[in-house]
Amino acid sequence: MDGARVYKNKNALFIYIRCCLDACLICLVVNMCGIIGYIGNDNGIEVVFNGLIRLEYRGYDSVGIGFKDKKGKIKAVKSVGRIQRSDVAPGMPNLEEKIKENGRFKFDSQIVIGHTRWATHGAPSERNAHPHVSMSGRFAIVHNGIIENYYTLKKELVDKGYKFSSETDSEVIAHLIDYFYNGDFVEAVRKTLTKLDGAYSFLVISEVDDFIIGAKKGSPLCVGIGNDEIIISSDEMPFVDRTKKVIYLNDNELIIAYFNGNYDVKSFEGIDIEKEIKGVPYDIEAITKAGYKHFMLKEIHEQPTTVKNAFISRVDHLDTMVRDNFPNLPRNINRVIYLGCGTSLYAGMVGMYITERYAHVPSRSEYASEFIYRDPVIFRNDVCIALSQSGETADTKEALKIVKDKGAYVAGIVNTVGSQIARLAGKGMYLHAGPEIGVASTKAFTSQIIAINLFNMLLIDDDDYRQSIINEMKRLPNKIKDVFNNEDYIRDIAPMIARYKNFLYLGRDINYPVALEGALKMKEIAYIHAEGYSSGEMKHGPIALVDDNLLSVFIITGGRDIYQKTLNNLLEIKSRNGKVLVITDNVDEMRKYLGNDDYIIKVPNTIPQLTPIINIIPLQLLSYYVADHLGREIDKPRNLAKSVTVE
Ligand code: M6R
């Protein structure tokens, strides 16, 4: 997108503008870069390098660090590809080989910034990787988010003589700071902030001063306060092993981080702000693989514990703890609307079935990304629940803002403590599932379903109902462990399953969202086409797909009605020689209908409200082992990122 090109006629110019707009729209799909900055007495290159590895889960295609060298000059080292040499084939680019020699870091610096970039404006390349250094060489920035008016700013800067060396939106920040610099670094950053539109967080270092400035508006930024050091980062992971003290910046706040662990926080207008220091709610063990081949597998196996964490302290104090999480819930609820994206949306769909069937309150679940463009009709006594693992998903955040502005009752069911959605919602429940690092969401889904059940118990004034759910929740961790008895079988059949080119995941009622979620898992980590469908809809079209390349994955559990109806759909497939894999709690009966080349996975029986928790786990394992067999990058699947922080 080079605005300086000359177009011979109006038509060409029109096409160029269209292309720019299209490119922008494509760019706006996702942005989940990670940023980190270090100021302290240790070698910040090492701290930032290790911190970047912890930010990898956010997704990236290039990486870079910037630092002040011994002479106080700014240096930047960038690479496409991976951070660590061990993650790439020999000869492929990586940051490590540029900054280490014979296993030791080549550079030593106490003021360092770093960045993992997931390309939006401009292809993944070294020149588009961050940090971006101002033309004068005095300032270097790393940026997460999108500067929406960058094109106008870039034109203005080009007119002033600034030369750009990347296609990114971010580079304008470095040049603007340089342009505004008049002897006062902080003032130059503040003036720059008044020019920027969009959602962003960025860090900047300068040749002229020995401090780091961080600014936040829309994208996350938190600050680890060590004894003699400060680490500023997109989340706590890069510093959790160095300090548990954290402050979370709010939008329109900036931090100036000095040596010796000192800092000032100010509003963008320059007013001092006192920040509360909080504790990071997890340990370093929570973010290591603990012997598992992938984070995803570790996280799947954590579910007996994470599910328990979601309810254990709450069920005996429903009327205090859970009710306090949802204070002033309207008496006459009009509707319960669950908002989310991806896996979180499917958890919301489970919620919809529970709320309508058991609380008898009208309910729906909404793709946040669609909802925000629909000008939805919202009433004051609508209860809107935003579901999010990361708490940073831009569409969900935007949907939450809309319903809040329209006066609905809002709450969040969120995993990441202190995240933007959690703060915006102001009330609701945390999942306490610990950090979910694999890009494919697993343990968050099962914990969300627990939280949804707890919330619904507030709407159902029936002690027997509540007690039956609580009793069954307490049995769940052991039942989940029973599901793992199938793991060897699933691993063994994975090579055969991996031969199919297409999957139809079929379920009815509360198992329909499970079908959607199972298919999402297969798509995103195994890269095999998989579609989730309501099994009742199957004969209205998809049944035409049945052939040797299609495997139909049925989820057949639940009440007798649903069970029988789904079984009928399975028989329709079988009578057309279709191949099936069945998740069921009724293995003996099911065997009667299946052939030798079909697959069957036994799950323990549970109540319908919790059955999605039990049923999704074999499907998580199935996609994991198929993806592993195919040699996929399971924790960081192509084109995907953990937090989707731009609409
Ligand atoms: O962090 P969130 O729960 O808000 O994320 C929503 C989706 O982006 C997420 O569930 C995504 O679909 C996952 N890759 C699914 O595994």
Whole-number Å distance between alpha carbons of 371 and 169: 28
Q: Please tell me if the CB atom of residue 344 comes closer than 6 angstroms to any atom of ligand 1.
A: yes
Active site residues: 33, 642
Q: How far is the CA of 560 from the centre of ligand 1 (A)?
A: 32
Stretches in the chain below the pLDDT threshold 50: 1-31
Ligand 1 touching residue 623 (CB < 6 A):
no
Of the candidates 220, 246, 218, 219, the one whose C-alpha atom is nearest the C-alpha of residue 231 is 246
Task: Assess whether the C-beta atom of 486 lies below 6 angstroms from ligand 1.
Answer: no
- For the chain, the C-alpha Rg in angstroms (whole number) is 26
What's the 300 CA to ligand 1 centre distance in angstroms?
A: 15
3 state DSSP class of 366: strand
Phi-psi region of 435 (alpha: psi -120 to 50; beta: other; left: phi over 0): beta
Domain 289-461 has CATH 3.40.50.10490: yes
Q: What are the Cα distances from residue 374, in Å, to 24, 108, 349, 368, 377?
A: 21, 53, 19, 10, 9
Quick check: pTM over 0.95?
no
Q: What is the pLDDT of residue 89?
A: 85
DSSP 3-state percent helix, strand, coil across the chain (nearest 5): 40, 20, 35
Residue 397 Cα to ligand 1 midpoint, Å, equals 13
Which of 30, 345, 389, 437 has the most ligand 1 atoms within 8 A of CB, as the residue to mutate? 389
How far apart are the CA of 89 and the centre of ligand 1, in A? Answer: 29
Residue 342 Cβ inside 6 Å of ligand 1? The answer reads yes
Q: How far apart are CA 372 and CA 366, in angstroms?
A: 10
The CA–CA distances, whole Å, from 414 to 308, 317, 430 equal 16, 20, 5
Spatial CA neighbour of 628 closest among 312, 341, 349, 292: 292
Return the ligand 1 atom nearest residue 442 CA: 16
Domains of the chain by residue range: 3-280, 289-461, 481-635
Ligand 1, atom 14, lies closest to the CA of 440
Q: Which two tokens stand for residue 72?
A: 């106080």
Any ligand 1 atom below 6 A from CB of 448:
no
Q: Are strands 104-105 and 100-101 parallel, antiparallel or unpaired?
A: antiparallel
How much is the pLDDT for 303? Answer: 96
Tokens of 556: 């057949």
Looking at residue 646, what is its pLDDT?
66
Instruction: Confirm or reject CATH 3.40.50.10490 for domain 481-635, answering yes or no.
Output: yes
Instruction: Decide whether any atom of ligand 1 lies within 6 Å of the 441 Cβ.
Output: yes
Q: How far is the CA of 484 from the centre of ligand 1 (A)?
A: 24
Sign of the dihedral defined by the CA atoms of residues 518, 523, 527, 528, in that order: positive
pLDDT tens digits for 234-270? 989 899 999 999 999 999 999 999 999 999 999 999 9
How far apart CA 625 and CA 627 sit, in angstroms, is 5
Give the domain 3-280 fold: Glutamine Phosphoribosylpyrophosphate, subunit 1, domain 1 (3.60.20)
Does ligand 1 come within 6 angstroms of the Cβ of 369?
no
**Residue 13 has what pLDDT?**
34
Dmax (CA) for the chain in angstroms is 82
Q: Evaluate whether 289-461 and 481-635 have a shared fold.
A: yes
Which of 30, 235, 341 has the most ligand 1 atoms within 8 A of CB, as the residue to mutate? 341
Q: Is 635 in the pocket of ligand 1 (CB under 6 A)?
A: no
The residue assigned the tokens 């052991």 is: 478
Would you say how long the chain is, in residues? 647
CA of 444 from ligand 1 middle (Å) equals: 9
